[in-house]
Structure 1
Amino acid sequence: MFNPTIPQEAQDFIEFVNQSPSPFHATHEAAKILKAAGYTEIKERDSWNEGLIQREGKYYFTRNGSAIIAFHVGGKYNPGNGFSIVGAHTDSPCLKVKPVSKKDKSGYLEVGVQLYGGGIWHTWFDRDLSVAGRVLIEHEDGTFKHTLVKVDRPILRIPTLAIHLDRTANDSFTFNKENQLAPILATAAKAQLSGITATEGVESEANHHPLLVRILADEMKVEPNQIRDFELAVYDTQKSTIGGACNEFIFSPRLDNLEMSYCSIIALTQAKDIENDTNIRIAALFDNEEVGSMTAHGADSNLLPVTLQRLANTRVVDAKDVSLTAFEESIHKSILVSADMAHAIHPNYADRHEENHRPEMHKGTVIKINANQRYATTAVTSMVLKELAKKHQIPIQEFVVRNDSSCGSTIGPMLSAKLGLRTVDVGNPQLSMHSIRETGGTDDVKHGIDLLRVFYEEFAVLEQRFIVD
């Protein structure tokens, strides 16, 4: 029987993405992986004084529940030494439930949604949809707690118009994003027969259909009046899976950028030889990259700069005293690998790629370069990864966009400029980026993990060979 093997790394990633329908869930799942690997949770609001941060210590913290930073302190680290950083993001384009989402149209209950990021919105039609995110619950003691919710069954759908009513649909499928992209929750008749109606004084039911609020309350085993507010993303309930005749594809939502987020965390936890490392190894997963990163928990915030400053200015147990310029010294011994998915060549649109830069699945992580600095890669920073890939026989590719095509961007340029930090932009190749269902290669999860793992293990030593400022 023909049954090709599936890399374990791809299988494990699928489990991660299936449990991560929102940035809050992705952060929670990343924290679970870190805890299992012996990482200790700390808080930004607490003091990181002497005695907390130790050589070979493993730590993480979250911000807003949707961004997470983890770090592993080298056994030979001293203040003023460098940081080996990998940055990625937890968010993906999606529909988000509006603050007042209640809509009634032509005998249907609909849920008002906002567009988040640059999604391929026509792919959201005729899919089995549900909601996931975080809910603020009021408890008996008067406290409000952030609670994750994920409704596993499909409760929403955006139906297309029948071909008989729009004969042009196959030629030009267009729609109004405000009026025609609202998911249907239920029929008004069935909702009335359910007996679930608005309860006086329940604020959430004034803004949202009581039926939706009841579903959330039942899922979390609380009363509807305990739900004070929420941030919900609409997601596709069809699970991520392995496909292709040779089990070579990952068919999945949110490959951009949960795949590189996953590779970053796994590489950090798997990296060896920490006892000899002079650097601090860091994985930083930010929220809101798809909408510009200019939020308190995005890459354009103070999240990474403040973290690096605090680490540089913290006297690690048994380390030398901190100099006044420790932070500035450390930045110039550091590098950021900005890890965000890349475009694989599309067989039906091959002309959209530059002829000498056509990344393929299974052939390695892609180094992304752009003369207009949409990516922050330089000759120096790309050589770091090329040297490591060559030494360990890890496949790697390069990509530039065509001159007559627009170019996306990443967190790399903004962090590089903000910190004066050497940066290289990379990502695993995929198809259908920003679709509700994307396609990646099963081998590339391992390629990404391996490349980032050897970066963590060996950058501090390799950096000594570079004499370019």
Structure 2
Amino acid sequence: MLAITAIRFRSRNVAMPVLMILKDRLIIVSIRQLFTLVIHYLNCENSCNYLASSFLVAPPPYSAPIHKFCSSTRKPTKMSCPSVPEIRKEAEEFLTFLNKAVTPFHAVQECKERLLQYGFQELGEASRWDIRPNGKYFVTKNRTAIIAFAVGGAFVPGNGFSIVVGHTDSPCLRVKPISKLQSENCNQVGVSTYGGGIWRTWFDRDLSVAGEVVVRAGDTLSRRLINIEHPILYIPNLAIHLTKDRDTFTCNNETDLRPILETFAAAGINSTKKTKRDDETNANQNDAGKDPRDIVSDHHANFLDMIAVAAHTTPDQIVDMDLYLYDTNPARIGGIHDEFITGARLDNLVGTFTAIQGLIASLVDERLLVDDVNIRMAACFDNEEVGSQTAMGAQSSFTEYVLRRLSAGGDQHAFEEAIGRSLLISADQAHASHPNYASKHEDNHRPTFHGGVVVKVNVNQRYATTSTTHAVIKQIAAEANVPLQKMIVRNDSPCGSTVGPILAARLGLQTVDVGCPQLAMHSIREMADTSSISQATRHSSTGCGLYYRHFYTEGQLMKKSELWFHT
């Protein structure tokens, strides 16, 4: 069976038809020779090709073996590229994850379920750990942050960690502790703005709530996940006829971002006569006789009733809630070629998903773990969008405590030695070049969809990438057969940041910041490409699973300073 494919090289604007068979052997010798000459001329042996459909060919799905076992005397086999259906399959698996992970609580729950399915064991943060070679484990913090790891069979305390990091949170609206509001015969829910969202995109959406509810039963407290899966809240725009300046949009985040829950008429009340429970709204919240655990008077009765039903309890048993608003319109694949992913929370559930899936993918052939001298790790933190200064954020001691526990059993310097032999890949989304705002991007650094994983650089250290770690990530990408792009912001533009610099400074880890290209970052509905999921998963799995080979020769662990990190 023959197939004709148009090939366009990423590093040059060159296109030529090549006659191929399915096993990638050219049917005409002269064409094969010409193909080889062009490859060498362009010096892009490691570049992936574009199919005629514009999809970038990424590495094979993680269901396939990552690579053959490779000793120090045998060169590893480069990963091959998957078909468009395989790229689509991985993108659809991500969508399944994304549509369930509507809050950081749900994101971590989805990660846990995937890890348990692949034989990982949950550890308690307050329990003693019995860590064994070839073991697979994970631990959570506040149920919104998770660290998963696999221990190499040849690991000893003092050896390094190969870490891929993401974050579980995204800009959103969150329900206030006292959310009860009323205006113009409508009951409303008070919300707080979390992170730097593009709040105008939250208007005219079908919104609902999800999160965690703390319930008491006697003297016992339990935490329950809830998700109201149908729309119950709306923030309608002001009609253009009532707007003075029709060409601009301004929003007062306190007074204009108040979702409508219900009308008085539908709630069975009116503006002059309220139900007994709603009369408690005006009660002094600091009444000495009020049970401090009682939140019934803090929220509208019908709203709290719905939350209680979802939590399988009664309103009077709810002690507290941590609820997030989200758009009930699901993420989906679209575009004329089905090449785009549109949905909420791409920043940064793409990084979270591909970090966890990359770790799992690196363990498909468990024989590869047997000779690994490192610990492979995926860590996903909460509160990145608000500075990470929380117990479950990247600035906490959570990561350090985990790494120290894994270094226990060696001499007193094992932890410090391990840090010097480790690499951290911070995976957070990157800005694709916007076709409508091309002038906003630096002339020579314009990441594109299907163009590969983006390496983020900032000389003012908003990103942690250095020339050393950039070189390392190039080597990893070459082995993973994943193309790389570079991103730097304009000198006249502000630059975002992420957990990479935080962890680099907090732990002294060699760090590189990468991400997948996307548009509309921090909108309620963002846009990415389907190729990125496969590319980032393969890149993460290579960072987790193949990194150790470069420091392991003839059974001896080699310090990075003797190889890539030579200075």
TM-score, structure 1 normalization:
0.94
Contact 2:479 2:542 in 1 (8 A): no
1:7 counterpart SS class: helix
Return the match for 2:498 from 410, 430, 444. 410
Bigger Cα displacement from structure 2, 246-255 vs 189-198: 189-198
Return the match for 1:162 from 239, 242, 245. 239
Return the match for 2:98 from 9, 13, 17. 17
CA distance in 1, matches of 2:335, 2:395: 38
1:392 Cα shift?
Answer: 3.3
1:165 Cα shift?
Answer: 0.9
1:292 matched to which residue of 2?
Answer: 387
Instruction: Tell me which amino acid in the other structure corresponds to 2:500.
Output: G
Q: Deviations over 1:137-191 (max 9, x none)?
A: 112x43111100100010000000111111523x111121101111000011211
Aligned residues: 455
Instruction: Tell me which amino acid in the other structure corresponds to 1:90.
Output: T
Instruction: Tell me which amino acid in the other structure corresponds to 2:142.
Output: N
Matched, 1:468 2:563: no
Return the match for 2:524 from 427, 431, 436. 436
Return the match for 1:103 from 181, 184, 189. 181
1:387 matched to which residue of 2?
Answer: 475
1:435 counterpart SS class: coil
2:18 matched to which residue of 1?
Answer: none
Return the match for 1:225 from 297, 308, 316. 316
Instruction: Tell me which amino acid in the other structure corresponds to 2:106.
Output: H
Matched, 1:214 2:302: no
Give the alignment's Cα RMSD to 1 decimal: 1.7
CA distance in 1, matches of 2:485, 2:565: 25
Aligned-pair identity (%): 47
Aligned CA distance change for structure 1 residues 21 and 192 (closer, same or farther; 3 Å): same
Contact 1:256 1:434 in 2 (8 A): yes
Query: What is the correspondence of 1:85-234 to structure 2 with a 5 Å cutoff?
Result: 85-139=163-217, 141-169=218-246, 171-192=247-268, 198=277, 203-234=294-325
Query: What is the correspondence of 1:41-56 to structure 2 with a 5 Å cutoff?
Result: 41-48=122-129, 52-56=130-134
Matched, 1:67 2:145: yes
1:114 counterpart SS class: strand
1:204 Cα shift?
Answer: 2.0
CA distance in 1, matches of 2:476, 2:510: 17
Q: Which has the higher contact order (CA 8 A, sep 6+)?
A: 1
Unaligned runs of 5+ in 1: 316-321
2:461 matched to which residue of 1?
Answer: 373
1:468 Cα shift?
Answer: 2.5
CA distance in 2, matches of 1:193, 1:180: 24
2:405 matched to which residue of 1?
Answer: 310
Instruction: Tell me which amino acid in the other structure corresponds to 1:305.
Output: E
Matched, 1:455 2:543: yes
CA distance in 1, matches of 2:434, 2:275: 49
Q: Deviations over 1:225-282 (max 9, x none)?
A: 1111100011000001111110000011000000110000000011041111100011
CA distance in 1, matches of 2:497, 2:394: 13
Contact 2:164 2:543 in 1 (8 A): no
2:448 matched to which residue of 1?
Answer: 360
Q: Deviations over 1:368-427 (max 9, x none)?
A: 000000000011111111112123321111111111100000101111011111000000
Instruction: Tell me which amino acid in the other structure corresponds to 2:277.
Output: A
Contact 2:99 2:331 in 1 (8 A): yes
CA distance in 2, matches of 1:232, 1:298: 18
Matched, 1:34 2:125: no
Contact 2:430 2:514 in 1 (8 A): yes
Instruction: Tell me which amino acid in the other structure corresponds to 1:299.
Output: A
CA distance in 2, matches of 1:392, 1:413: 25
Instruction: Tell me which amino acid in the other structure corresponds to 1:148.
Output: L
CA distance in 1, matches of 2:463, 2:233: 37
CA distance in 1, matches of 2:348, 2:565: 33
CA distance in 1, matches of 2:234, 2:360: 39
Matched, 1:255 2:336: no
Bigger Cα displacement from structure 2, 31-40 vs 187-196: 187-196
Bigger Cα displacement from structure 2, 379-388 vs 366-375: 379-388
CA distance in 2, matches of 1:165, 1:218: 40
Greater C-alpha Rg: 2
1:343 matched to which residue of 2?
Answer: 431
Instruction: Tell me which amino acid in the other structure corresponds to 1:434.
Output: H
TM-score, structure 2 normalization:
0.78
Contact 2:359 2:545 in 1 (8 A): no
Contact 1:344 1:361 in 2 (8 A): yes
1:47 Cα shift?
Answer: 1.6
Aligned CA distance change for structure 1 residues 43 and 192 (closer, same or farther; 3 Å): same
1:198 counterpart SS class: helix
